[in-house]
């Protein structure tokens, strides 16, 4: 159990949460939610013991699994050893035992200590530890032949997966996971969901993946109104309960205000007359009916709307026999896209899905002309204008400018009022529009790029992981905007709700080929389950 007692956290003159008293109990899985800037990561760091409170205390169990955020910290360790470090007691015992066995001679004292260490290792299931670590690594997509490689041989996304395995290792009594689905593909996210649903300890997780929260969580710990409120159920249940609760209080306050007005009218008319006793009674009733104070909610939802200046023709772009390979460290060639052709038609909403590293970003970069294919050609029709949201969004935002000035650099005839309006819709109101681009958070950077896309009014949107760093309200607003968009869109995303809500066509890139499926994501999954060849690459279909 994790117990939070009287915790307050303030930065300067701003209070994130005040006098929080909550308990997180074993057997329950809590989603920690709140918009960007609400204090989710700060609260998680307080739970982990990595952040001091302004006031209050936190008690936690002895063995806690924590998802580390520094992917480069373990570069000089073996991958499997990095997982084993998730059990600090076991790892310390294994290291000490190895040092003792490396001594040229063993004293009696060393022998006694070795006996103690063997006892600790046995208590921590150390003799099957590597087997359990290997199972975790394979579950998140790290093949067995790589387990003894150094962490520095892995790309950043795979390093993050290893850290997820590290947090899960060693049967921790509590799990604290901050954005565990970052860098995970759909297959690995599904594995993680099933693993967490089988977990019997106390789970607290931050995620911007609504589908993940709905699948995993039994409770939601929502940071709002300067406190943490526990709701029973998943994320959708919390939203419904939160709206219903606030609407109920607002309705009660309206009724109270109406009754108070009637009582005040009576007091005004008869306060100085013979009915003073009745007046006093009404004054007491007015005091009793004082409306419930409603603190301002910190939930803010951007208003995203992608308009188009003019429609494209029926055909938007044609991809002819595209191929792209990369040279690997061992000198071999990795073929990510091979002889791929497709036509992109007006009004299509195309989701590109697949595991990490299979070529999704490569495909989009070839479409926008940011990457030259080894073979083949991309033909964009002349009336098409496209807007691009790159996966590495920071490269698209020039440093040393204010957010307003950066957006203004793309304006043509639009005046200050239009630009300020766009920024306000994307939550850059007042002085926040003058924030330096160097200091923007991930979510702010993503919203600023979307302001640019709204300004440009392109008829073709190409979006590579646009939901990374967006909070749940922003992801929901983006999904709605893409669904209503009158142009054509192709996008890469691991957010299943976004893909399910928006996509009318699926491009699934696998190690066995590329499937081009005309239909929604749910229809694609249904076709996969039934093994329909039309939904699958030939090699992949043969495996089912």
Whether residues 205 and 257 share a domain: the answer is no
pLDDT at 242: 78
Whether residues 224 and 244 share a domain: the answer is no
Whether residues 455 and 428 share a domain: the answer is yes
Residue 294 lies in a domain: no
pLDDT digit string (tens) for the chain, length 544 residues: 999 999 999 887 788 888 999 999 999 999 999 877 778 889 999 999 999 999 999 999 989 999 987 778 899 999 999 999 999 999 999 999 999 988 888 888 999 999 999 999 999 999 999 999 999 999 888 889 999 999 998 877 788 889 989 999 988 999 999 988 877 777 778 888 998 999 999 999 998 888 899 999 999 999 887 889 999 999 989 888 877 766 677 777 777 778 888 778 877 777 666 566 777 787 777 777 776 665 656 567 889 999 999 999 999 999 999 999 988 777 788 888 999 999 999 999 999 998 777 889 999 999 999 999 999 999 999 899 999 999 887 777 888 999 999 999 999 888 899 999 999 999 898 888 999 998 888 888 999 999 999 999 999 999 999 987 788 888 889 999 999 999 999 999 988 889 999 999 999 988 778 989 999 999 998 888 777 655 554 434 332 2
Among 123, 153, 183, which residue terminates a domain? 153
Its sign, for the CA torsion 220, 223, 226, 227, is positive
219-224 and 227-232 as β-strands: parallel, antiparallel, unpaired?
antiparallel
List, for residues 482-538, the tens digit of each pLDDT value.
999 999 999 999 888 899 999 999 999 887 789 899 999 999 988 887 776 555 544
Exposure on the CB side of residue 227, measured as CA atoms within 13 A = 13
Whether residues 97 and 229 share a domain: the answer is no
Whether residues 245 and 327 share a domain: the answer is no
- Enter the tokens of residue 57: 């205390």
Residue 502 lies in a domain: yes
* Count of domains for the chain: 4
Residue 305 lies in a domain: no
Residue 435 lies in a domain: yes
pLDDT at 299: 65
- Measured CA angle at 193 (ends 125, 222), to 5 deg: 105
Nearest to 156 by CA among 184, 186, 178: 184
Report the alpha-carbon distance of residue 401 to residue 398 in Å, rounded. Answer: 7
Q: What is the DSSP letter of 402?
A: B
Report the alpha-carbon distance of residue 514 to residue 358 in Å, rounded. Answer: 10
Nearest to 491 by CA among 510, 466, 470: 466
Residue 295 lies in a domain: no
Those residues whose C-beta lies under 8 Å from the C-beta of residue 449, and which sit 6 or more positions away, are: 389, 393, 396, 397
pLDDT at 297: 60
Residue 436 lies in a domain: yes
Whether residues 26 and 4 share a domain: the answer is yes
Residue 300 lies in a domain: no
Those residues whose C-beta lies under 8 Å from the C-beta of residue 176, and which sit 6 or more positions away, are: 44, 47, 48, 64, 65, 66, 67, 167, 204, 205
Among 233, 250, 267, which residue terminates a domain? 233
Buried b (16+ CB within 10 A) or exposed e, 66-105: bbbeebeebeebebbbbbbbbbeebbebbeebeeeeeeee
Do residues 29 and 18 make contact, with C-beta atoms less than 8 angstroms apart? no
List, for residues 449-494, the tens digit of each pLDDT value.
999 999 999 999 999 999 877 888 888 899 999 999 999 999 999 8
Q: What is the DSSP letter of 127?
A: G
Among 95, 119, 153, which residue terminates a domain? 153
Whether residues 204 and 84 share a domain: the answer is no
Beta pairing partners, 176? 66, 204
Q: Report pTM.
A: 0.72
Whether residues 208 and 271 share a domain: the answer is no
pLDDT at 443: 83
pLDDT at 341: 94
Whether residues 270 and 201 share a domain: the answer is no
Q: Which domain range does residue 134 map to?
A: 74-153
Whether residues 327 and 466 share a domain: the answer is yes
Read off the CATH number of the domain in which 524 is found. Answer: 3.40.50.300
Residue 444 lies in a domain: yes
Whether residues 2 and 141 share a domain: the answer is no
Whether residues 496 and 535 share a domain: the answer is yes
pLDDT at 530: 77
Those residues whose C-beta lies under 8 Å from the C-beta of residue 383, and which sit 6 or more positions away, are: 310, 312, 313, 459
pLDDT at 351: 96
């Amino acid at each position: 159990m994790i117990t939070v007692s009287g915790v307050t956290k303030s930065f300067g003159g701003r209070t994130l949460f005040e006098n929080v008293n909550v308990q997180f109990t074993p057997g329950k899985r809590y989603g920690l939610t709140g918009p960007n800037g609400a204090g989710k990561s700060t609260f998680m760091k307080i739970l982990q013991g990595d952040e001091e409170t302004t006031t209050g205390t936190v008690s936690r169990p002895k063995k806690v699994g924590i998802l580390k955020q520094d992917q480069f910290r373990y570069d000089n360790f073996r991958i499997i050893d990095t997982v084993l470090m998730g059990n600090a007691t076991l790892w310390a015992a294994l290291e000490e035992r190895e040092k003792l066995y490396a001594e040229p001679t063993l004293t009696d004292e060393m022998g006694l200590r070795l006996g103690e260490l063997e006892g600790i290792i046995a208590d921590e299931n150390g003799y099957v530890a590597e087997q359990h670590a290997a199972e975790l690594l394979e579950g998140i997509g790290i093949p067995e032949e790589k387990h003894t490689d150094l962490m520095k041989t892995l790309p950043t996304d795979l390093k993050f997966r290893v850290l997820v395995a590290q947090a899960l290792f060693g049967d921790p009594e509590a799990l604290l996971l901050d954005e565990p689905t970052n860098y995970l593909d759909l297959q690995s996210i599904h594995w993680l969901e099933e693993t967490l649903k089988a977990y019997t300890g106390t789970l607290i997780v931050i995620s911007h993946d609504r589908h993940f929260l709905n699948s995993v969580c039994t409770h939601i710990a929502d940071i709002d109104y300067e406190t943490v409120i526990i709701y029973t159920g998943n994320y959708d249940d919390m939203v419904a309960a939160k709206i219903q609760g606030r609407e109920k209080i607002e309705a009660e306050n309206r009724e109270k205000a109406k009754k108070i007005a009637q009582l005040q009218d009576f007091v005004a008319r008869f306060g100085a007359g013979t009915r003073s006793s009745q007046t006093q009674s009404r004054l007491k009733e007015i005091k009793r009916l004082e409306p419930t104070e409603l603190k301002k909610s910190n939930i803010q939802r951007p208003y995203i709307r992608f308009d188009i200046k003019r429609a494209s023709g029926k055909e938007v772009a044609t991809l002819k026999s595209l191929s792209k390979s990369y040279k690997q460290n061992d000198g071999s060639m990795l073929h990510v896209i091979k002889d791929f052709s497709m036509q992109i038609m007006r009004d299509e909403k195309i989701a590109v899905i697949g595991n990490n590293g299979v070529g999704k970003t490569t495909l989009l970069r070839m479409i926008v002309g940011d990457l030259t294919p080894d073979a083949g050609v991309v033909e964009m029709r002349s009336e098409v204008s496209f807007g691009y949201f790159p996966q590495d969004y920071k490269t698209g935002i020039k440093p040393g400018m204010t957010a307003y000035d950066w957006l203004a650099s793309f304006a043509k005839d639009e005046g200050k009022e239009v630009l300020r309006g766009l920024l306000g819709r994307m939550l850059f109101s007042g002085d926040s529009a003058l924030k330096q681009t160097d200091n923007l958070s991930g979510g702010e950077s993503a919203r600023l790029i979307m302001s640019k896309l709204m300004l440009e009014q392109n008829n073709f949107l190409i979006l590579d992981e646009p939901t990374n760093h967006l909070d749940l309200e922003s992801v929901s607003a983006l999904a709605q905007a893409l669904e209503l968009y009158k142009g054509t869109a192709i996008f890469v995303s691991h957010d299943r709700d976004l893909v399910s809500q928006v996509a009318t066509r699926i491009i699934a890139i696998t190690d066995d080929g590329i499937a081009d499926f005309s239909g929604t994501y749910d229809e694609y999954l249904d076709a996969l389950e039934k093994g329909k060849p039309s939904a699958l690459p030939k090699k992949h279909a043969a495996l089912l």
